[in-house]
Amino acid sequence: MTAAVLYGSEDLRLEELEIPQASAGELIVRVGAALTCGTDLKVYRRGYHAMMLKPPIPFGHELAGIVTQVGEGVTKFREGDRIVALNSAPCDACYFCLRGQQNLCEDLLFNNGAYADYIRIPARIVEKNTIAVPDGVPFEYAALTEPLACVVRGLEETAPRLGDTMVVIGAGPIGLMFMHVAALAGQNVIAVVKRDDQIATAKLFGARQVVQTTAVEDVVKATRALTPNGRGADSVIEAVATPATWEWAVDMVRKGGTVNFFGGPPAGTKVQLDTNRLHYGDITLKASFHHTPATCRTAFELITSGRFKCAETITSRATLDQVPEIFARMMMRTGGSREIKTAVFPKGAPR
């Protein structure tokens, strides 16, 4: 089979590998569609991910497909089933799992290799985080479950009230998903974006108002001016992962509000925050990482219900042999394109 294998920073190669075989409890899945992802782009740029993978390793983690082999002991799935397999599963036995923080599992099992003809799904993921996909739901839509589950958990952790004002900084795939899910949850969303093309896209995904960073002198002031009485947002989602945007987020939130640092900067990154404002403003700062089996199912329901803008999120299609070129192009992206996610079809895009 053909697979994209990551060897290091910006070193992604197509190779011919043996089709994996299912051991007890496992599934082998013929990939129907795999999606590009901001996390994959960061890993491609850096050449590693401390938790998810160490090269050389088959690459990619957002996928859906058809079961082609069932390992001994598997009873929930059979050959021919359409499934979405998430990229991780918790142990449900460690300190964090027992406290309801499965995303922080001490033995969180990750799986990679979505950019390939076939992928092996480990037994724990089969048991805890694999979901049957109904007929009529395209594979590329089902594959959105993983990133959307991270966003759903981020929104749940932020805990906004109906009718609150929420600022979302960043209009990449995750930022747009936050805008959309927040709008569906009844938030008044203000988007903070950089490029001209992101203005219309942010509005498409639910932003009522948009601040373009390159069109105003003071981004914080311009954003706060759009909030009720200029007091600041009830909550702010940071989805860019730079020190500057982390600091903007704190300055944009109201007294008693919540900031969710969703974007993860590189290790060792430092920021400067006004401790006086944090303390006397009673501001809550938190971060959200990854997903849980529960938020995966909530995200999947959003997708299969038709409420989530799947078609608008999948903005281009490609074949497996184009994957190295796609990531090289993503590294060079300078704007002017409304590309959000590319769906990769190992057997060619369906007509």
pTM of the model: 0.95
Q: Which residues are CB-neighbours of 349 under 8 A, at least 6 positions away?
A: 317, 318, 319, 343
Instruction: For 270-315, write each residue's pLDDT tens digit.
Output: 999 999 999 999 999 999 999 999 999 999 999 999 999 999 999 9
Round the average pLDDT of the chain to a whole number and report it.
95
Contact, 201 vs 179, CB < 8 A?
no
Domain range list for the chain: 2-144+308-345, 157-287
3-state secondary structure 135-195: CCCCHHHHCCHHHHHHHHHHHHHHCCCCCCEEEEECCCHHHHHHHHHHHHCCCEEEEEECC
How much is the pLDDT for 351? 47
Which of 3.40.50.720, 3.90.550.10, 3.40.50.2000, 3.90.226.10 would CATH assign to domain 157-287? 3.40.50.720
Cβ pair 178, 154 in contact under 8 A: yes
Quote the CA–CA distance of 111 and 89 in Å, as a whole number.
9
**What is the topology classification, in CATH, of domain 2-144+308-345?**
Quinone Oxidoreductase; Chain A, domain 1 (3.90.180)
Inform me whether the pLDDT recorded for 52 exceeds 80: no
Mean pLDDT, rounded, for 312-332? 94
* Res 264 pLDDT > 90: no
Q: Which two tokens stand for residue 87?
A: 């990229």
Average pLDDT of the residues in 216-237: 98
d(CA 174, CA 163): 22
Give the pLDDT of residue 349.
61
**pLDDT beyond 80 at 53:** no
Sheet holding 57-58, edge to edge: 11-16, 2-8, 57-58
Q: Does residue 45 carry a pLDDT above 90?
A: no
Instruction: Pick the range with the lowest mean pLDDT from 147-156, 190-199, 218-227, 260-269.
Output: 260-269
Tokens of 299: 């995200």
Structure tokens at 277: 């404002």
Spatial contact of 143 and 41, defined as CB atoms under 8 Å apart:
no
